[in-house]
């Protein structure tokens, strides 16, 4: 593959280590670069293109909307925004929705909501939100502070105050939550960026109980796990818990930027005109993409097929683990899969790309596999065959 990107200084800020590949189009599980090389995209644009690239139904709906109205501000009713709110509330235990444009903003809204809720309840001494080690909640000033990873804070102090970090999945520290200062906990069901670490279901249940008993809000960051990624529309459905707030973004618009904060009615009531807002949030174009995406997700049999395909993939990966020592662990749920290796994954990601498959890292030694939910058995098989090939090649060169 030729490295076509010149050495001259880019006009774009250097916030990402970009691979020397220039993507120009996509369809289904595939993307193509400028030289027309085809790749199987098992990153889904980082858990975003859950229906694959340019999915037909969403494409049709957005194209129709493009001819009608793109934006009009939230000072007017937006029919598709209301429709998307209804779809989200009917299909979840939450009642009302606030729309924004990204995961970080969805968490910002949740954090503001939690603070306001405490004050509205007469608990103005409750100013803290508990988050967990290795979490990831976004890159804005406040969500970066909510993110309990030092490397993300580096250079950006002073941090927004009001966050307390506890160890993830640790039963002992749960009792520290109810110290009279906590208004909410914010937690991922699978820590995506933090290494694909699933929550312990008993721990989450215990956390939920402590929250319920003490009027502390249970807020689930489902920005990565939501919208079918784990085989159910929301990952929390697979646990015996009832969140007060969930946040969504990545998969919600099939790649059209949109974020959402869903809350129980009594919590949502803390937002009134003037409390919060977003110019673009849930605009006609983004809301249309959201409605079409949701309609696709809740179609009879769609998620069952995701469960079936993802268990097949999981089985195959567990088989590989038995044959290759370099695979330490296979974890995750549905199509959010982490493969922990006994070495750094950088070269592995490059090997996959050289063989036409895009995969991600989650930390230094975890490969993160995020196939589109619509991926075919044939594509899954190709992924497994390619992984086997790389494993065999690598085994020859190491040990």
Decide: is 249 part of the binding site for ligand PLP (CB under 6 A): yes
> Is there a binding annotation on residue 287?
no
- The answer to whether the beta carbons of residues 362 and 338 sit under 8 Å apart is yes
For residue 45, report the phi and psi dihedrals to the nearest 5 degrees.
Answer: 60, 40
> Is there a binding annotation on residue 277?
no
Give the nearest residue (CB) to ligand PLP: 103
**Residue 306 CB partners (closer than 8 Å, separation 6+):** 228, 231, 334, 335, 373
Name the segment binding ligand PLP (CB under 6 A); options: 136-144, 196-204, 309-317, 368-376: 136-144
CB of 64 to ligand PLP, least distance (A): 26
Number of residues in contact with ligand PLP, rule: CB under 6 A? 15
> Is there a binding annotation on residue 392?
no
> Is there a binding annotation on residue 136?
yes
Using CA atoms, how far apart are residues 395 and 351, in angstroms rounded to an integer? 14
> Is there a binding annotation on residue 224?
yes
If the CB atoms of residues 14 and 397 are measured against ligand PLP, the closer one turns out to be: 14
> Is there a binding annotation on residue 223?
yes
- The answer to whether the beta carbons of residues 369 and 42 sit under 8 Å apart is yes
Using CA atoms, how far apart are residues 373 and 141, in angstroms rounded to an integer? 32
Q: Which long-range contacts (C-beta less than 8 Å, at least 24 apart) are formed by 121-124?
A: 121/215, 123/183, 123/215
If the CB atoms of residues 327 and 367 are measured against ligand PLP, the closer one turns out to be: 367
Tokens of 230: 């784990």
Decide: is 193 part of the binding site for ligand PLP (CB under 6 A): yes
Query: How many CA atoms within 13 Å lie on the side-chain side of 97?
Result: 28
For residue 339, report the phi and psi dihedrals to the nearest 5 degrees.
Answer: -120, 105
Name the segment binding ligand PLP (CB under 6 A); options: 4-12, 100-108, 195-203, 325-333: 100-108
Decide: is 244 part of the binding site for ligand PLP (CB under 6 A): no
For residue 341, give Cα distances in angstroms to 344, 354, 365, 372, 397: 7, 19, 5, 23, 16
CB of 305 to ligand PLP, least distance (A): 24
Among 50, 61, 81, 102, binds ligand PLP (CB under 6 A): 102
If the CB atoms of residues 216 and 223 are measured against ligand PLP, the closer one turns out to be: 223
Work out the number of other CB atoms within 10 angstroms of the CB of residue 18: 11
If the CB atoms of residues 98 and 136 are measured against ligand PLP, the closer one turns out to be: 136
Decide: is 108 part of the binding site for ligand PLP (CB under 6 A): no
Which residues are registered as beta bridge partners of 128? Answer: 182
CB of 247 to ligand PLP, least distance (A): 7
Tokens of 134: 């290795």
CB of 240 to ligand PLP, least distance (A): 21
Decide: is 223 part of the binding site for ligand PLP (CB under 6 A): yes
Site for ligand PLP in 333-362 (CB under 6 A): none
Decide: is 163 part of the binding site for ligand PLP (CB under 6 A): no
Name the segment binding ligand PLP (CB under 6 A); options: 33-41, 132-140, 339-347, 378-386: 132-140
Each residue 295-334 as x (binds ligand PLP by CB under 6 A) or -, in order, gives ----------------------------------------
Maximum Cα interatomic distance, the chain, rounded to a whole number of Å = 66
Among 108, 128, 188, 208, binds ligand PLP (CB under 6 A): 188
Among 115, 116, 126, 137, binds ligand PLP (CB under 6 A): 137
Relative to beta strand 360-361, strand 96-100 is unpaired
Among 55, 103, 253, 372, binds ligand PLP (CB under 6 A): 103
Tokens of 159: 């941090």
Q: Known binding site: residues?
A: 103-104, 136, 139, 221-224, 278-279
Q: Known binding site for pyridoxal 5'-phosphate: residues?
A: 103-104, 136, 221-224, 279
Q: Known binding site for N(2)-acetyl-L-ornithine: residues?
A: 139, 278
Binding site for ligand PLP (CB under 6 A): 102-104, 107, 136-138, 188, 192-193, 221, 223-224, 249-250
């Amino acid at each position: 593959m030729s490295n076509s990107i010149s050495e001259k200084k880019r006009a774009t800020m250097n916030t990402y280590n970009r691979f020397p590949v220039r993507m120009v189009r996509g369809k289904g599980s595939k993307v193509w670069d400028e030289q027309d090389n085809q790749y199987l995209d098992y990153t889904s644009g980082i858990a975003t293109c859950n229906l694959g690239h340019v999915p037909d139904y969403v494409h049709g709906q957005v194209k129709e909307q493009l001819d009608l109205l793109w934006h009009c501000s939230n000072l007017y009713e937006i029919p598709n925004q209301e429709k998307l709110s209804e779809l989200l509330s009917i299909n979840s235990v939450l009642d009302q929705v606030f729309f924004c444009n990204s995961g970080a903003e969805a968490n910002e809204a949740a954090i503001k909501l939690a603070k306001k809720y405490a004050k509205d309840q007469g608990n103005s001494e409750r100013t803290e939100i508990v988050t967990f080690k290795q979490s990831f909640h976004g890159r804005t000033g406040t969500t970066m502070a909510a993110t309990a990873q030092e490397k993300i804070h580096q250079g950006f102090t002073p941090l927004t105050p009001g966050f307390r970090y506890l160890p993830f999945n640790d039963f002992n520290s749960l009792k520290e939550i109810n110290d009279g200062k906590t208004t909410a906990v914010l937690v991922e069901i699978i820590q995506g960026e933090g290494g694909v670490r699933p929550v312990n279901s008993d721990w989450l249940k215990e956390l939920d109980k402590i929250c319920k008993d003490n009027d502390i809000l249970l807020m689930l960051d489902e920005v990565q796990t939501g919208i079918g990624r784990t085989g159910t529309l929301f990952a929390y459905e697979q646990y015996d818990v009832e969140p007060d707030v969930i946040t969504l973004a990545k998969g919600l618009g099939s790649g059209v930027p949109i974020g959402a904060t869903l809350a129980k009615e009594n919590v949502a009531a803390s937002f009134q005109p003037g409390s919060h807002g977003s110019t673009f949030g849930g605009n006609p174009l983004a809301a249309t993409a959201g409605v079409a995406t949701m309609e696709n997700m809740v179609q009879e049999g769609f998620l069952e097929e995701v469960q079936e395909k993802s268990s097949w993939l999981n089985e195959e990966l567990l088989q590989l683990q038995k044959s290759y020592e370099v695979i330490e662990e296979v974890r995750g749920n549905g199509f959010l899969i982490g493969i922990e290796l006994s070495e750094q994954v950088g070269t592995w990601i490059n090997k996959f790309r050289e063989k036409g498959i895009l995969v991600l890292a989650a930390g230094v030694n975890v490969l993160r596999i995020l196939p589109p939910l619509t991926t075919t058995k044939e594509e899954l098989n190709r992924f497994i065959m390619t992984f086997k090939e790389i494993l065999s090649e690598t085994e020859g060169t190491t040990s």
